[in-house]
């Protein structure tokens, strides 16, 4: 892809970009809501809202009930640890893209999922060796959409943000990339709708990961 011609570092989002984890996330959240005595939510509605991230989603569902939110989030983490591999799978082309890009580009992973959980999943899918840096939502003191994680990765790998591209499916990915002065690629078959991504104005849209090559 032409956008990669002057790029040394490719940063991938995880959920909704490399792995389709939506069903397991939705199932775990509804199980948590039910266990906490809350009304469960239609899976289709949850899928539309999950691009906000689990914490923001709980704010939307529960409001400012801090104790209840903490309880639900605790149950959610408990259920997700048990269910994370039930239906989660790699997106078509993900492995091939990583194999080919890793031969001539530096690759990193930047997600708002907890780092420990991310590393467990990367190991399960045998993807961890592709990434020189793996940054989770709890690795640094800021997470996407802040550009700070991208700056951190660039500094660690000695690559300028201008020679970096951020690939993701959400506004947080695109906003973080743009704020860091990196190029951005919006994956429209992830968790967000095309309309949501268009509002962020990524440099390029892709419908499949193979288009990156």
- Tracing tokens 């939705």 back to the chain, one arrives at 26
Joined tokens for residue 213: 């090559």
Best CA proximity match to 173, nearest among 160, 188, 186, 155: 186
Residues 178 and 189: their CA atoms lie apart, in Å, by 20
Helix (H) / strand (E) containing 186: strand 183-187
Residues recognised as catalytic: 13
Strand order in the sheet with 183-187: 133-135, 106-110, 9-12, 164-168, 183-187, 204-206
> Treating both helix axes as pointing N-terminal to C-terminal, what angle do 148-157 and 171-179 enclose, rounded to 10 degrees?
60
How deeply is 47 buried, as exposed, middle or buried, from its count of CB atoms within 10 A (0-12, 13-18, 19+)?
A: middle
């Amino acid at each position: 892809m032409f956008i990669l011609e002057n790029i040394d570092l490719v940063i991938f989002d995880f959920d909704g970009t490399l792995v389709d984890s939506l069903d397991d996330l939705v199932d775990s959240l509804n199980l948590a809501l039910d266990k906490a005595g809350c009304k469960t939510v239609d899976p289709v509605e949850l899928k539309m809202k999950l691009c906000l991230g689990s914490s923001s989603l709980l704010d939307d569902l529960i409001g400012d009930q801090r104790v209840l939110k903490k309880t639900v989030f605790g149950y959610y983490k408990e259920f997700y640890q048990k269910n994370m591999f039930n239906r989660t799978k790699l997106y078509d082309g993900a492995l091939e893209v990583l194999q080919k890009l890793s031969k001539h580009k530096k690759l990193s992973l930047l997600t708002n999922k907890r780092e420990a959980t991310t590393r467990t999943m990367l190991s399960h899918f045998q993807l961890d060796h592709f990434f020189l840096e793996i940054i989770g939502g709890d690795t640094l003191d800021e997470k996407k959409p802040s550009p700070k994680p991208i700056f951190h990765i660039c500094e660690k790998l000695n690559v300028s943000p201008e020679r970096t591209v951020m690939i993701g499916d959400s506004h947080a990915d695109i906003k973080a990339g743009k704020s860091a002065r990196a190029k951005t690629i919006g994956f429209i078959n992830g968790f967000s709708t095309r309309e949501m991504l268009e509002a962020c104005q990524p440099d390029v849209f892709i419908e499949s990961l193979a288009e990156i090559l």
